[in-house]
Structure 1
Amino acid sequence: MATMALAGLPSLSFASRATPKVLSFYNRHTGETGRAEFWRDGGVVEAGAEALDPLLRDHRQNEVAAIDRRLYHLVSALTERLEFRGDIHVISGYRSDKTNEMLAARSGGVAKKSYHTRAMAVDIALPGIALEQVRDAALALGLGGVGYYPRSGFLHVDTGPVRRW
């Protein structure tokens, strides 16, 4: 079932679907790191994806959600496009409604119906790669939403409709 959901990603070739995919995250808020294979032989490695989910948890509420597996594919495609091999820095992954409401009350830049609350978004930085390059590569993929936050030093990507801000 997870494989069928991922099969619809437009810019992923059959070759890339067969290639094992590994992601390595560093959560800037918790200091935690983790690396896991989430894709092999054309399908999700659920144990690997589940190992990554806590790294993208709502650290304020310590609440873990099953991250949209397409998001892992999107981030993997982005790092492959940029030939990035290091730890992907996570600024924000899943957010509980409580956390999102608190952040929205503090800032006009937080969407009230954020894809973060659906476990379909992540804010990231790729150390050593200019944020503009990361933005341009994410836009070229055309796999979802891309938000560019140069003052804060991160890029938002999500598996919602293709759009940019």
Structure 2
Amino acid sequence: MTDTSSNGISRRALLGVFAATAVSAAPTFSKAAGFLRGAGDIRRLAMYSGRTGEMVDTIYWIEGDYIPDALNEVTYFMRDWRTDQIKGIDNRTIDIMAAAHRLLDVSEPYTLLSGYRSPETNAMLRSRSRGVARNSLHMTGKAADLRLKDRSVNQMFQAAKACNAGGVGKYSGSNFVHMDCGAVRSWGG
């Protein structure tokens, strides 16, 4: 197994970020309680959607294993709320989001502005803004636009960039940060 995938994401860099901090929290789904006995390494993701009023707070990885039910919960939460269409969210994007959140040392959940976007939603948004890419990684379940009240856009941007694991965009005027598992790159800052 290699440490770098075909799109340049370093597993070692992500693992280093996860190892740098520890999370101690109870999961929100019933099956995880058994997994937590003696667990040393967990990954957690918490988000809120102002569009749907929904919240997800889940441990999705324990000691080297992704938890399918938790990943399904995240995928459903990150659906295109305009069309109610669902697309699997790439685990690498979830890892980047969780790693950046840990680096920020904040308990506040992310506010999700955009996760998966259907081609129809992306085309509609693109017709309204020059900042929406024609072939956006949102359409493949590989990107998220996120906000935190307790941290600045610049702090979020720097944390995501420190992961060195994908694309990071800073949108100060709109108060959000884009994170994706595409090629390592950054813009807006």
Query: Do Structure 1 and Structure 2 share a fold, with TM-score over 0.5?
Result: yes
Q: 1:101 aligns to what?
A: 123
- Indicate if the aligned counterparts of 2:14 and 2:165 stay in contact, CA closer than 8 A: no
Count the aligned residue pairs: 161
Q: 2:164 aligns to what?
A: 142
**RMSD, aligned α-carbons:** 1.9
Q: CA deviation at 1:15?
A: 9.1
Q: CA deviation at 1:14?
A: 6.8
Please give the alpha-carbon distance, in whole angstroms, between the structure 2 residues aligned to 1:164 and 1:14: 20
Please give the alpha-carbon distance, in whole angstroms, between the structure 2 residues aligned to 1:15 and 1:143: 11
- Indicate if the aligned counterparts of 2:17 and 2:99 stay in contact, CA closer than 8 A: no
Q: 2:45 aligns to what?
A: 23
- Indicate if the aligned counterparts of 2:122 and 2:132 stay in contact, CA closer than 8 A: yes
Deviation by residue 1:88-111 (Cα, 9 ceiling, x = unmatched): 110000000111011111111100
Deviation by residue 1:28-55 (Cα, 9 ceiling, x = unmatched): 2111111111101202111111111121
Distance 1:50 1:15, change over 3 A: same
Please give the alpha-carbon distance, in whole angstroms, between the structure 1 residues aligned to 2:77 and 2:15: 28
TM-score if structure 1 supplies the norm length?
0.90
Amino acid corresponding to residue 13 of structure 1 in structure 2: L
SS at match of 1:21: strand
Alignment gaps of 5+ in structure 2: 20-39
- Indicate if the aligned counterparts of 1:93 and 1:123 stay in contact, CA closer than 8 A: yes
Q: Does 1:55 align with 2:77?
A: yes
TM-score if structure 2 supplies the norm length?
0.79
More relative contact order, 1 or 2 (CA 8 Å, 6+ apart): 2
Q: 1:152 aligns to what?
A: 174
Please give the alpha-carbon distance, in whole angstroms, between the structure 2 residues aligned to 1:82 and 1:16: 12
SS at match of 2:11: coil
Please give the alpha-carbon distance, in whole angstroms, between the structure 2 residues aligned to 1:146 and 1:13: 18
Please give the alpha-carbon distance, in whole angstroms, between the structure 1 residues aligned to 2:153 and 2:48: 17
- Please point out which of 92, 107, 128 is paired with 1:85: 107
Q: Which has the larger radius of gyration?
A: 2
Moved over 6 A (4+): none
Alignment gaps of 5+ in structure 1: none
